[in-house]
Amino acid sequence: MAKKEPFTSTAESTFIIPPIVVPADARIDEDGIGFDLEVGCNKVSFRWWRSREIWHFDGNQSDALLELGLLRPEWMPGFPGNNISAQTVLFGEDVPRVIRGNMRGGRKGISWLRIVRKSCKGVMVQYAPPLEHRPQLNSLVDEVRARLQSEAKSPPAVACNNPQSPSEPSLSTARFSERLKTALEFRGFDTLESQVAHIVATTGRSPQTARRWLAGWEPVRFPRWLLGLCDSLKVRPGWVLVGEGPDPMEMALIESVRAMTEWEKGQFFRFGIRLLNKDSKAIRLGEMFDRGQISRQQLFSMM
């Protein structure tokens, strides 16, 4: 059985971490709250995770967290008597206590702080605040969750660019979810399960978010983590979000042309011009290529 780590009381027995104030321009989604703070020349990224009820601080310079009053110098990994790479601080009724090293399966308690050294000056911090600090943070996230659930059940109507036309909207005027489904299906994700799994794998979002996207919910602004999904589907983010730019089929054609040699590009454009002129030979060769009777190289060599 592993030996438990000894505890050491910190020098500042009255020190209390101040409540973290969420700025008005914070990013709030169904999973939590995120924002950045500029401290001098340094930036600290904050993230509140609703499910775990912990803060995550990430700073390239630990001095910024010290200046904000979120850390104490004697808690830092590498401080004489402390662990070299990671340090845990417990907050109780008496004093903050530093654990020399890892918890080794021990319970952290209600409020605790975990410091992990990333570099000489950079640290990553996880902080479970006191219980009384949590309801206000959770309520901000819960309001967003309720709104998203309501929008998923009743997706807003999207006006067509041509209200006189009763036909189905084109890809450029379709909703975000319809364009997303089109891109997924074009890349072979034909079932809802495979589409949800691919979205989760490439964006890191929850399956519930993926299903809402596919059900008709549209992001109010461009999420940075959507870039990975667009890159995997080989479509431009502007087309997925607002319908601007080439659709998946056009992108596939662009990719194919880019991969061609100079000779192949010349033959390809020659083939296209003959098709526009309704050349019978070009039409016949195109039909043979579609049926798989000839390869692209054979088609180009016959032009």
- Per the listing, tokens 């990013």 go with 27
Cβ atoms of residues 127 and 113 within 8 Å: yes
Which residues does 26 contact at the CB level (< 8 Å), separation at least 6? 33, 34, 35
What is the spatial distance between Cα 95 and Cα 14, in angstroms, rounded to a whole number? 7
Q: In this predicted structure, what is the pLDDT of residue 39?
A: 83
Q: Which of 47-56, 102-111, 155-164, 209-218 has the lowest mean pLDDT?
A: 155-164
Per-residue pLDDT band for 153 (boundaries 50, 70, 90) equals low
Per-residue pLDDT band for 223 (boundaries 50, 70, 90) equals low
Residues linked to residue 128 through DSSP beta bridges, in sequence order: 112
Instruction: Catalogue all structural domains in the chain, each as residue range(s) with its CATH number.
Output: 23-134 (no CATH), 176-250 (1.10.260), 260-301 (no CATH)
What is the spatial distance between Cα 220 and Cα 234, in angstroms, rounded to a whole number? 23
Which residues does 8 contact at the CB level (< 8 Å), separation at least 6? 81, 97, 98, 99, 100
pLDDT at 190 over 80: yes
pLDDT at 144 over 70: yes
